Every structure is written in C-alpha cells, then in structure tokens.
C-alpha cells in the first residue's frame, strides 16, 4: 500500500463534504486482527464462523467455540462484531459433515442446514452468547435466509439458547457459592443472589440480523424488517443468484458481475427499503472493496461496508477524495445504463477523473 493511502487509514471514512460510511472488516480466522485494527477498520462486519470449523476432524465443542469467539470479540471491544452462524454447504464443506447433492448452491446450505440440525445451531449460539458476556459487542447474522419462517425459527432458537443459558448461569453460581460456604446463613445467600444477578445481567440478548443474498428477500423486506434489527447484503451470493451464474465456475466467469445493472438496481431497492423500514443496511461482499462499488453504495445510503483488511485504507482514501454530490451524480448516471460494459466504462472514466 502506498504511503498516501496508508496516511488516511486512521481517519474517518468520510467524503469531502462530511458524509460518512463505516468501514469494517471481513474475517474468519483470528490471526491478523491486530494488524487489521491498525489498518483502521471499525470492528468486524462479517465473521465467517465456518472457516474455523473447516480445518478440523469434528465439530468444535461449546467450550472450544466460546474460547475462539471470545478472542474475536475481544479484538474489537469498542466496536461491533457481527458473527454469522454456520454457513456451510454450497462450496464450503466440512470433512466430518459430508453433503452430496447435485446443485450444492441451490441445496442444503447455511440456515437450511442449521435449522435441520438445531443441536449444531444451539451449541454455536450458546458459545457466542457466553463469549459475549461482559463485552456486549456481539451481533448475530443469519446466512442464506429466503423467507420469514426461517427467521422466526432461528430467532426462537436464539431466544431458547439465551434463556436456558441465563437460567444455567444463575443456578451454577448459586450452587458454587452455597457449596463454598456450608453455613448457609442469610448473608451468604444474599451474596450468592447478588453475584448471580450480576452474572445474569452480563448476559445480554444481542441484535439479530440477516444476510440479504437470496433474491427472494428483496420482495419481503417489510416482513423481514419487523423481525430483525439489521440487514447485510452478501453481494457475492446475491450476484450469483440474481444472474444465475455459479460464482466459482470459470466457464461463466465473464457473466458473473456485481456491476450488472440488475444487481445495482437490486442493491438500490434494498437500500431504499431498509431506510423506509428503519433498519441499518450494510454490505459485506467483494463489491464493497472496489472503489467504484464503495462510491455507489455510499450514494445509495448504505451505512456500513465490510471487506478484507488490506482494502480498508484504499477505500477510505477514495471516499475521502469525493463529495456526496459527486457520488450521487455517479449513481444517477449508472442507474440509467443498460449493460455491464457501459457501467464499467462509465465508472472507470469517472475514477480516472478522480485520480
């Protein structure tokens, strides 16, 4: 990264006329967090929990997961950390949980698997809640949502995990304190109660959001907004599903394009609907890490974008060199274009003008 870019890493991601968009990190392994914090990310926009599940021979226990998630949450104690529940299937497989099917990207993936296996989901959510105790920067996001029933089911499992854990914590502490002091007098009982209450209060129910990556959600935003606190677009999958192009198939790679007019219009509609229903909207796919993508998302009204750490300073630099008015002009013009080719040539031209 050049010096001029690194100089802005710690400055706010703000246009010349004062419009800000938060820049966060995408992560999946704990290594490298400190370095990324140095690059100026304001928290984690997407922690892909399936990644630490991959290089193993069995599912990690609740205790193992708690330890891992705690490290992640502690890396950004002042900022939000959005953890995604397990998103396996599609192209991501676990050696100890084989899935064999004809169209994996249209098959058993993400929330579909964890709702069919509430045991896996509950252990993971319990570990997240435990890890979050007394830090309280956790937000939970659900992958591959295509309808409201999945959201209702997932939220009811999260509530179950939360209330069971709270009860267990209080019972455990009471038991511990009572066994330490067998005299069982009034004072000990009160101390135990206070400690138990404090511990229970340290366990908070986090905000819950969903990934917008299956096109069907674009037409259910109102009902979804009633159920969740925030939305985050997975533009990698949204592009794949909107254009019916496998994101990993080189044969059709030229058709896979997040700057396709249909994808941009979908993003614009999502941003407008989120604002209309009063929900925060972010984007955590690769599009956010491209300068023209970040400018368009800013103009559409996205609150946050998240990306790999090394892209953070560059995106900040670009945003800090434009005005919101310029971004709006670029968006307005882009939305009138009808082919991906026109979009790319127009945006490249504009970026060159910006230097």
80 binds Mg ion (CB under 5 A): no
Dihedral angle sign, alpha carbons of residues 55, 61, 115, 74: negative
235 binds ligand PEP (CB under 6 A): yes
43 binds ligand PEP (CB under 6 A): no
Smaller CB distance to ligand PEP: residue 23 or 203? Answer: 23
Smaller CB distance to ligand PEP: residue 146 or 160? Answer: 146
246 binds Mg ion (CB under 5 A): no
As measured in angstroms, the least distance from the Cβ of 237 to ligand PEP is 3
For residues 151 and 169, what is the distance between their CA atoms, to the nearest angstrom? 27
Give the range of 36-44, 118-126, 237-245, 267-275 binding Mg ion by CB under 5 A: 237-245
**Helix runs in the chain, H state only:** 3-6, 33-38, 50-54, 62-75, 111-116, 118-131, 148-180, 186-202, 221-225, 235-243, 261-276, 291-300, 312-320, 324-334, 340-354
234 binds Mg ion (CB under 5 A): yes
Smaller CB distance to Mg ion: residue 129 or 208? Answer: 208
Q: In angstroms, how far is CA 145 from the centroid of its own chain?
A: 13
From the list Mg ion, ligand PEP, none, partner contacted by residue 235 (C-beta under 5 to 8 A by kind)? ligand PEP
Strand partners, 83: 47, 140
237 binds Mg ion (CB under 5 A): yes
Smaller CB distance to Mg ion: residue 107 or 202? Answer: 107
Dihedral angle sign, alpha carbons of residues 144, 212, 23, 339: positive
284 binds ligand PEP (CB under 6 A): yes
Contact 83, 69 (CB under 8 A): yes
Nearest-10 Cα torsion for 107, 287, 296, 2: 170
246 binds ligand PEP (CB under 6 A): no
85 binds ligand PEP (CB under 6 A): no
From the list ligand PEP, Mg ion, none, partner contacted by residue 307 (C-beta under 5 to 8 A by kind)? none
291 binds ligand PEP (CB under 6 A): no
Q: What is the DSSP letter of 260?
A: S
Smaller CB distance to ligand PEP: residue 213 or 303? Answer: 213
Contact 118, 157 (CB under 8 A): yes
Token pair recorded at residue 66:
């708690």
Among candidate residues 263, 259, 251, 278, the one with its CA nearest the CA of residue 345: 259
Q: Is 242 exposed, middle or buried (0-12, 13-18, 19+ CB in 10 A)?
A: buried
203-222: contacts with Mg ion (CB under 5 A): 213
- Of the residues 234, 309, 313, 340, which one makes contact with ligand PEP according to CB under 6 A: 234
270 binds ligand PEP (CB under 6 A): no
Dihedral angle sign, alpha carbons of residues 66, 283, 294, 326: negative
For residues 205 and 179, what is the distance between their CA atoms, to the nearest angstrom? 30
Smaller CB distance to Mg ion: residue 257 or 299? Answer: 257
Give the range of 56-64, 70-78, 235-243, 335-343 binding Mg ion by CB under 5 A: 235-243
Smaller CB distance to Mg ion: residue 214 or 312? Answer: 214
Residue of minimal Cβ distance to ligand PEP: 234
With a CB cutoff of 8 Å and minimum separation 6, the contacts of 255 are 243, 245
- Of the residues 285, 293, 309, 340, which one makes contact with ligand PEP according to CB under 6 A: 285
Residues near ligand PEP (CB under 6 A): 46, 48, 87, 213, 234-237, 284-285
Give contact residues for Mg ion (rule: CB under 5 A). 213, 234, 237
């Amino acid at each position: 990264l050049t010096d001029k870019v690194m100089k802005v890493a710690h400055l706010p991601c703000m246009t010349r006329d004062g419009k800000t968009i938060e820049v966060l990190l995408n992560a999946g392994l704990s290594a490298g967090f400190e370095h990324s914090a140095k690059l100026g990310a304001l928290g984690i926009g997407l922690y892909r929990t399936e990644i630490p599940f991959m290089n193993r021979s069995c599912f990690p226990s609740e205790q193992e997961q708690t330890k891992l998630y705690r490290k992640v949450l502690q890396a950004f104690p002042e900022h939000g950390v959005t953890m995604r529940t397990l998103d396996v299937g599609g192209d991501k497989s676990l050696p100890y949980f084989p899935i064999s099917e004809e169209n994996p990207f249209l098959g058993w993936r993400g929330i579909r698997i964890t709702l069919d296996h509430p045991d896996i989901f509950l252990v993971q959510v319990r570990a997240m809640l435990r890890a979050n105790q007394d830090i309280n920067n956790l937000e939970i996001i659900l992958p591959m949502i295509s309808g409201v029933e999945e959201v209702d089911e997932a939220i009811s499992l999260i509530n179950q995990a939360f209330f069971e854990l709270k009860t267990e914590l209080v019972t455990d502490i009471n038991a511990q304190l009572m066994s330490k002091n067998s005299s069982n007098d009034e004072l000990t009982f009160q101390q135990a109660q206070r400690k138990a209450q404090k511990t229970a209060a340290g366990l908070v129910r986090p905000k819950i959001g969903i990934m917008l990556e299956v096109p069907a959600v674009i037409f259910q935003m109102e009902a979804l907004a009633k159920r969740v606190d925030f939305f985050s677009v997975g533009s990698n999958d949204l592009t794949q599903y909107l254009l019916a192009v496998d994101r990993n198939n080189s044969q059709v790679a030229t058709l896979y394009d997040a700057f396709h007019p249909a994808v941009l219009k979908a993003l614009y509609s999502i941003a407008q609907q989120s604002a209309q229903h009063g929900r925060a909207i972010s984007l955590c796919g690769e599009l956010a890490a491209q300068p023209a993508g970040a400018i368009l998302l800013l103009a559409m009204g996205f609150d946050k974008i998240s990306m790999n750490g090394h892209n953070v300073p560059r995106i900040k630099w670009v945003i800090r060199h434009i005005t919101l008015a310029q971004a709006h002009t670029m968006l307005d013009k882009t939305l009138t274009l009808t082919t991906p080719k026109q979009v790319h040539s127009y945006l490249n031209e504009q970026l060159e003008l910006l230097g």
